[in-house]
């Protein structure tokens, strides 16, 4: 049941939602800014109100017009001037570590490019606008709208012009072939920012998609079509149906050539990632013997190997480990090794003779076994890059007895969104 009532925004939560109070219960609204007043339409979910802005009666001086109408579905901070975004993100990280009296002041690196920065974007499909039928279109799921989807006639501003052109042309060809939104699941588009080449992966609910020509689509270097079971909403391949061209991307990161497959993790903002990597390199002690966990395709470890004595990368995904080994071979780095081991099965002996631990975990943060191994082995230096400062702060609270913070620094990998990366450099406390 929806209710309509006035609110005044009192704070911005760590996930970027604006928060107010109504009838003694919190109200969470995306798309409103600190100090703003307006009318929201909301429903109760898990004891709090979750709403959408219907009418703005008092606007923040930091409010601006969004770049696109669907902004709430992809980047809800498009309505906020960029300096205010930076201030909020900086303050968010500072607050998380403010409990430690000996922590240094938090630094922050803003983005240099506000749109078109993403290396990967995932589109859905729709062929209805409410009750009205429309031609097959790229779409995003509406924030808070359940299964409702928003048509994207121009793609998304977070993706580059090349990425949008490829996605829109592929959607046009699917439309002309007679496919509907019920036949299809998602279209993932990835771009190498170093050479502008684009890969696209179509995930279809149908078990057969007839092959069609794509060789003439500018900038498209590879196209893979998968059947993806309807039992899962995720874009996971059940069976490869056909492919044209390449399935590999190349990126140059601080003059290191990194090759990765269409399904591998890769950072979404290359220039800001390079800033973070430079800071990580600066934190390495001389003759560093590095253990890197959650090492992916080796990007961080390979860059660090140019100045470290040795780097041992450990990753859960075998395909990523294979890519890391190939990347090391191409770079002629014989002081880098990669190994496939799940975090929960990792043996503490991996930490032996390693004086530096490098971490770049997923949003959930460190596996409890990793925390146990750190406490038992106590490497001298920990360099921890995180896409979720909240779980990073939680992990540090479990290590604070043994480690002090030498550096806290935020990086705006995701402008126009509330997401932020943070870097901690830790050293053993002197006994």
Which residues are tagged catalytic?
387
| 242/168 Cα distance (integer angstroms) | 20
Which position has the token pair 């703003």?
36
- Cβ atoms 223, 199 nearer than 8 A: yes
Burial of residue 281 (number of CB atoms within 10 Å: 0-12, 13-18, 19+): middle
- Cβ atoms 336, 301 nearer than 8 A: yes
Q: Which helix (H) or strand (E) holds 384?
A: strand 381-386
DSSP state of 285: P
Long-range contacts of 360-363 (CB under 8 A, 24+ apart): 360/292, 360/294, 360/295, 360/296, 360/300, 360/384, 360/385, 360/386, 361/293, 361/294, 361/386, 361/391, 362/294, 362/387, 363/387, 363/388, 363/391
Reading phi first (left if > 0) and then psi (alpha if -120 to 50, else beta), residue 227 is in beta
Strand order in the sheet with 149-151: 149-151, 132-141, 120-129, 184-191, 198-204, 220-227, 239-245
| 15/112 Cα distance (integer angstroms) | 22
Q: Cβ contacts of residue 121 below 8 Å, gap of 6+?
A: 156, 158, 159, 163, 167, 188, 189
- Cβ atoms 140, 149 nearer than 8 A: yes
- Cβ atoms 365, 397 nearer than 8 A: no
């Amino acid at each position: 049941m929806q209710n309509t009532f006035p609110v005044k925004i009192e704070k911005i939560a760590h996930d970027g939602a604006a928060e107010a109070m109504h009838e003694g219960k919190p109200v969470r609204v995306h798309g409103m800014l600190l100090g703003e007043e307006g009318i929201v339409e909301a429903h109760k979910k898990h004891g709090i109100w979750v709403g959408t802005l219907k009418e703005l009666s008092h606007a923040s001086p930091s409010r601006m017009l969004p770049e696109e109408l669907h902004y709430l579905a992809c980047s809800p901070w498009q309505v906020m001037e960029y300096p205010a975004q930076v201030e909020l993100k900086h303050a968010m990280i500072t607050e998380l570590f403010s409990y430690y009296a000996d922590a240094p002041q938090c630094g922050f690196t803003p983005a240099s490019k506000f749109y078109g920065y993403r290396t990967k974007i995932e589109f859905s499909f729709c062929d209805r606008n409410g009750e009205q039928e429309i031609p097959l279109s790229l779409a995003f799921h509406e924030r808070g709208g359940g299964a409702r989807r928003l048509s994207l006639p121009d793609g998304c501003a977070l993706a580059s012009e090349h990425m949008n052109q490829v996605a829109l042309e592929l959607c046009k060809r699917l439309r002309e072939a007679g496919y509907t939104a019920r036949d299809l699941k998602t279209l993932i588009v990835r771009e190498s920012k170093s050479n502008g080449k684009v890969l696209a992966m179509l995930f279809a609910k149908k078990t057969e998609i007839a092959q069609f020509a794509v060789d003439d689509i500018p900038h498209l270097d590879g196209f893979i079509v998968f059947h993806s079971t309807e039992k899962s909403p995720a874009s996971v391949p059940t069976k490869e149906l056909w492919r044209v061209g390449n399935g590999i991307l190349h990126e140059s990161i601080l003059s290191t050539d990194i090759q990765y497959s269409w399904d591998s993790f890769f950072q979404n903002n290359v220039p800001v990632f390079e800033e973070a990597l430079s800071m990580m390199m600066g934190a390495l002690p001389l003759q560093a013997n590095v253990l890197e966990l959650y090492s992916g395709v080796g990007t961080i470890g390979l860059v660090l190997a140019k100045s470290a004595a040795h780097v041992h990368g450990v990753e859960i995904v075998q395909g990523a480990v294979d890519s890391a080994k190939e990347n090391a071979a191409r770079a002629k780095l014989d002081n880098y090794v990669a190994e496939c081991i799940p975090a929960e099965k990792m043996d503490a002996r991996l930490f032996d003779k390693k004086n530096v631990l490098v971490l770049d975990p997923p949003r959930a943060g460190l596996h409890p076994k990793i925390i146990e191994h750190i406490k038992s082995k106590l490497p001298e230096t920990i360099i921890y890059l995180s896409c979720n400062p909240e779980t990073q702060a939680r992990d540090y609270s479990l290590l604070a007895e043994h480690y002090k913070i030498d550096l806290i620094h935020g990086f705006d990998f995701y402008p126009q969104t509330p997401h932020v990366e943070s870097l901690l450099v830790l050293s053993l406390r002197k006994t």
